A = this chain, B = another copy of it.
């Protein structure tokens, strides 16, 4: 069997992660094994770079430099929030034809896999032979068919380490603390705050995820109950918590609601939700209370120097696997990471259909959510192997 001849392009889309460059480098390493592939390009700022012909030539970048790129957080090629429609995708295919690109790899979340799917369909409908692969990436951990996604382990590690320190800070100087964590629809990242606990009464004491409607009276009663018992209370909440009608609490607070190309309301990059909950607690439970709020913001996804080694390794392997499959002649798909064993922890990298993952959202299984305000201990078994060994905590 002769391998499809031509050039390759790789793009990185959506929010950066601490390990998205591992997937890029894994893919480049795979493509380099194939003589039929002449040029390997990186798309500068994702689909926009493809359409504009703004490409970074990765063909001859040294292995040492690639390794440094792999270790660097955020998207080295630049990213984009563009949501390509069919016309945009036809422009992408025109660029492919012009540059003789036969291999297309798109590293991203569910929106990015949908872009990959549309580009693939347009190419097929035009009789243009193309290998189109989506490589999973999202700190939200919300891709269907995956046990977990590259990017999640490192972001979850950041959240766990942050809560470990913050819960101890709150114990040292007692009060009520609200920590707002990324996650629009899926509570996986916020649930990782529960990994911070090492003994009874450790914070976070209350955890709120978007899978359950957020009720203000219930919330205040929860805080009051914990604070009355311990004299302190650490709350971890997803930025995406919403009322029973599905309206995000954060969206109600913004004077000018900002939406991206995907119609998503801006949740991150503002302390408004944390400050609102903080004020609410003071108004309802006492003006004199020491109430503080921190919004972890963009630090969660691209902090340098707090990365999960398992996450790094898997992100690299997912990129490599996509390249290998495409070279072997599989013309389209996405990579799903599946856990084959938990002790010892082992995963497989399976090819799935683009349509299995495109534009779908997986949420935190309800079995992990306790009374709408906590995460079950069983979540630790799921998440800890992804996060890696956590710092040692000792109490008096």
Which of A79, A294, A301: most chain B CB closer than 10 A? Answer: A294
Partner of A74, one of B168, B295, B303, B305: B168
Q: Mark A222-254, 1 if CB is under 8 A from B, else 0.
A: 000000000000000000000000000000000
Stretch touching chain B among A65-73, A96-104, A354-362: A65-73
A72 cross-chain contacts in B, Cβ below 8 A = 168, 391-395
Q: Chain copies in the assembly?
A: 2
In A40-60, the 8 Å CB interface with B consists of: 42, 56
Chain B residue with Cβ nearest A74: B168
Partner of A173, one of B16, B162, B271, B295: B16
Residue contact A16 to B168, C-beta cutoff 8 Å: yes
Q: How far is the CA of A145 from the CA of B333 in the complex (A)?
A: 63
Q: How far is the CA of A12 from the CA of B168 in the complex (A)?
A: 14
Residue contact A79 to B173, C-beta cutoff 8 Å: yes
A396 cross-chain contacts in B, Cβ below 8 A = 42, 56, 69, 76-77
Residue contact A169 to B78, C-beta cutoff 8 Å: no
Any B CB within 8 A of the CB of A306? yes
Partner of A390, one of B161, B291, B305, B390: B305
In A282-311, the 8 Å CB interface with B consists of: 287, 291-299, 301-306
Residue contact B287 to A268, C-beta cutoff 8 Å: no
Query: Size band of the A side of the interface?
Result: 35 or more
Q: How far is the CA of A56 from the CA of B292 in the complex (A)?
A: 28
Q: Mark A205-236, 1 if CB is under 8 A from B, else 0.
A: 00000000000000000000000000000000
Q: How far is the CA of A392 from the CA of B76 in the complex (A)?
A: 13
Partner of A165, one of B12, B15, B73, B296: B73
In A380-396, the 8 Å CB interface with B consists of: 390-396
Residue contact B304 to A165, C-beta cutoff 8 Å: yes
Q: How far is the CA of A275 from the CA of B306 in the complex (A)?
A: 26
Chain B residue with Cβ nearest A15: B173
Any B CB within 8 A of the CB of A171? yes
Residue contact A391 to B295, C-beta cutoff 8 Å: no
Q: How far is the CA of A292 from the CA of B298 in the complex (A)?
A: 9
10 pairs from A and B in contact (CB 8 Å cutoff): A42-B396, A72-B392, A79-B172, A79-B173, A81-B173, A162-B304, A164-B305, A169-B298, A177-B298, A294-B299
| Top-10 shortest CB links A-B | A271-B271, A269-B292, A74-B168, A294-B297, A68-B394, A165-B302, A164-B304, A75-B172, A304-B391, A161-B305
